[in-house]
């Protein structure tokens, strides 16, 4: 007895088209808009926090002792938090770019294919240069983790 799958019943091309339609439907709508707005508000909040914290010295007990557990735990916590923020932001950026690229594009030529490859992280170096706008945005978003960790890490102050 042969086992049939949904791909066998409707054909691979039709199944692929149905899958793409469901993905595009999930990228549009109110939930997608809320996620994008939440990412913008989160970024503005972090920018404001860093602008305030930069001008204020953060002091912690035992901070000057290299490798102390307080230092390691604090920096690890801040790094994990910054990575989560960056991941959320990058995901929102990726969904907006993907939605824009797929739904507003009237042509399905090599430029659109290159941009989609860059968006999903499968683009070659050549594709990265073709979709340089996307690459630059992701580069800046990647630097977000570094800026959060550097901005929220207490400075070592040695009293003489």
pLDDT digits (tens, 9 = 90+) for 35-52: 888 888 988 899 888 888
pLDDT at position 111 over 80: no
CB-CB contact of 133 with 82 (8 Å) = no
pLDDT at position 119 over 50: yes
Task: Label residue 81 by pLDDT band (50, 70, 90).
Answer: very high
d(CA 117, CA 127): 7
Domain boundaries, the chain: 7-152
pLDDT at position 84 over 90: yes
CB-CB contact of 60 with 82 (8 Å) = no
Q: What is the per-residue DSSP string for the chain?
A: -----HHHHH-HHHHHHHHHHHHHHHHSSHHHHHHHHHHHHHHHHHHHHHHHHHTS----TTTTSTT-HHHHHHHHHHHHHHHHHHHHHHHHHHHHHHHHHHHH-S--SHHHHHHHHHHTT---HHHHHHTHHHHHHHHHHHHHHHHHHHHHSPPP----
Within 13 Å of residue 35, how many CA atoms lie on the same side as its CB? 18
* Higher pLDDT, residue 86 or 118: 86
Average pLDDT, integer, range 72-92: 89
Average pLDDT, integer, range 7-32: 62
Average pLDDT, integer, range 57-79: 74
Average pLDDT, integer, range 39-66: 78
Neighbours of 64 (CB within 10 A): 14
């Amino acid at each position: 007895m042969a086992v049939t799958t949904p791909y066998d019943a409707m054909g691979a091309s039709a199944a692929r088209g149905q899958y793409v339609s469901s993905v595009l439907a999930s990228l549009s709508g109110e939930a997608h808009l809320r996620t994008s707005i939440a990412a913008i508000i989160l970024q503005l909040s972090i920018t404001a926090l860093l602008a305030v914290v930069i001008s204020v010295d953060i002091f912690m007990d035992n901070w000057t002792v290299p490798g102390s557990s307080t230092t390691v735990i604090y920096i690890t916590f801040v790094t994990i938090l910054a990575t989560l923020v960056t991941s959320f932001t990058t995901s929102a950026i990726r969904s907006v770019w993907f939605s824009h690229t797929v739904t507003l594009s009237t042509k399905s030529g090599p430029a659109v294919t290159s941009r989609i490859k860059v968006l999903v992280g499968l683009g070659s170096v050549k594709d990265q240069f073709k979709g340089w706008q996307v690459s630059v945005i992701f580069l800046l978003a990647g630097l977000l983790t570094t800026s959060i960790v550097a901005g929220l890490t207490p400075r070592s102050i040695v009293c003489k």
